[in-house]
C-alpha cells in the first residue's frame, strides 16, 4: 500500500474570517480575541435557529469589497433587513 505523499504535510488552518484584502491583516488580532469568539458562537446558534439577515456569508461584505486604503470615512448604521430580498 502506497502512502499518500502529502501525509506528513502539516495543514494550515484557515482563518475564521477571510476578506481577501488589507483588512485580513488589520483585523486578524480581533478575530482571535475572546469577545469575537463568543460573538461568533452566539451568531452560529442564532443562524442555525432563526432566520437572520443578512445571510451569514454577507456579514463582512463592506470590508470584502472595499480595501482599507480606499476607506475615507465609516458610517455606522443599521440596514433595514426584513426579508431575503
Q: Is 34 a catalytic residue?
A: no
* Contact present, 31 and 17 (Cβ < 8 Å): yes
**Which residue is catalytic, options 24, 34, 70, 79?**
79
Q: State the Cα–Cα distance between residues 71 and 69, nearest whole angstrom.
A: 6
Count Cα neighbours of 4 within 13 Å in the Cβ-side half-sphere. Answer: 4
Q: Assess contact for 24 and 18: CB atoms under 8 A.
A: yes
Residues tagged active-site: 79
Amino acid at each position: 500500500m502506497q502512502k499518500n505523499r502529502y501525509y506528513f504535510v502539516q495543514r494550515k488552518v484557515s482563518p475564521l474570517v477571510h476578506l481577501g484584502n488589507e483588512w485580513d491583516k488589520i483585523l486578524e488580532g480581533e478575530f482571535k480575541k475572546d469577545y469575537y469568539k463568543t460573538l461568533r458562537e452566539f451568531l452560529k446558534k442564532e443562524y442555525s435557529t432563526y432566520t437572520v439577515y443578512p445571510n451569514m456569508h454577507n456579514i463582512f461584505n463592506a470590508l470584502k469589497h472595499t480595501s482599507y486604503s480606499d476607506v475615507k470615512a465609516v458610517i455606522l448604521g443599521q440596514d433595514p433587513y426584513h426579508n431575503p430580498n
